[in-house]
Amino acid sequence: MFDGQAARALRALKERGRTDVARALAPALRESLRAAVAGARRPVVVVPVPTSPAAMRRRGYRVPDLVARRAGIRPARLLAVTRVTGDQRALGRGERASNVAGSMRARAGASGLAVVLVDDVLTTGATLAEARRALEAAGARVVAAAVVADTPLRHIGTGRTGSDERPSCA
């Protein structure tokens, strides 16, 4: 869950350049990946969601890639950003989906691969859905997604939290 220590660690990594906390986040990603590939019938390739060029310039590293490497995983950078998107933080579910729609493409070599997507935080699933779209358009099969943390979602008008409104990546 994206609260408490996990939220503080991810914010330190993303906003304050504290790359040392990636090692502390690695076990959460490793466990998420273990669950994602349980029962896989063939080898899977771990593909991180790409970082925007602006975030890469600002930070000097890609958060999902860094945490994956600290977890002992060698991610395959098979996705590329094709256009600039707006900051997702203040956007609602539909706005997030529109913001990232068509913003990624798969690089050569994705065709025929079984893929597990990796990201740092899952909010609405819009970014993971776009990554899935790009990979599947290139002939890959996305079998799962793994994240370090997720945020609670609000059901419209109920005040309850839950994750049943997120799009499926499997």
The pLDDT assigned to 18 comes to 93
Task: Report residue 95 CA to chain centroid gap.
Answer: 18
Among 122, 146, 116, smallest CA distance to 28 is for 146
- Residues in the chain with pLDDT < 50? 1, 154-170
- For the segment(s) 4-162, the CATH number from 3.40.1350, 3.30.870, 3.40.50, 1.10.10 is 3.40.50
The pLDDT assigned to 91 comes to 61
Domain boundaries, the chain: 4-162
The pLDDT assigned to 36 comes to 85
Strand duo 45-48 + 114-122: pairing: parallel
d(CA 71, CA 41): 22
Among 72, 82, 23, smallest CA distance to 50 is for 82
The pLDDT assigned to 70 comes to 95
d(CA 121, CA 115): 18
User: Taking the model in full, what pTM does it have?
Assistant: 0.81
The pLDDT assigned to 164 comes to 39
- Per-residue pLDDT tens over the stretch 45-71: 999 999 888 888 889 999 999 999 999
